[in-house]
Amino acid sequence: MTYTITFHTKWADFDANKHMRHTAYNDYAAECRVRFLTENNFGLKEFEQLNIGPVLFSENTNFKKEIKLGEDISVTLFLQAVSKNGERFKMFHKVYNKNGDLAAEITIYAAWFNLSSRKLCIPPKQIITTFNNLEKTDDFEEIIINKK
């Protein structure tokens, strides 16, 4: 499934040059991920009940075109990689300006984190199924975990 959200940008997203701050792109990507999970029955309440949450290892943003003051944007979310057990995953985001031009690409590498043990964990099967239903990137791959 393709997952895209349109956002109305706000004044605080922009800098003195009247273009979107670099960190605002990442904030919208994060909001897209949270909404995707929430719409698929994994909101904050469910994570609290499961005693887990996502933890980021890295976030990489490539800027393509500027987004100007007052423009609405859209963010499309893709699954780029996942480990066999679903513990670790990579998500890829495409951010588009109001004209539909690609403005940025954002990749995150993350895992599921048990809030009690403070260690990585395997998520419930429903989360794995939800992720597997998300549109995959052309370079989709399995993350190999080397445990020593």
pLDDT at 135: 98
Look at residue 148 in the predicted model and tell me its pLDDT. Answer: 65
Residues of the chain with pLDDT under 50: none
> Which helix H or strand E contains 6, and what residues bound it?
strand 3-8
Burial class (CB in 10 A: 0-12, 13-18, 19+), 57: exposed
- Residue 112: domain span: 3-141
CATH number of the domain at 83, please. 3.10.129.10
75 belongs to a structural domain: yes
Q: Please indicate, yes or no, if residue 50 is contained in any of the structural domains.
A: yes
Predicted model pTM: 0.94
Asked whether residue 148 is assigned to any structural domain, the reply reads no
- Has residue 87 been placed in a domain? yes
Q: Are 90 and 109 in contact (CB under 8 A)?
A: yes
Residue 146 confidence (pLDDT): 81
The structural domain count of the chain equals 1
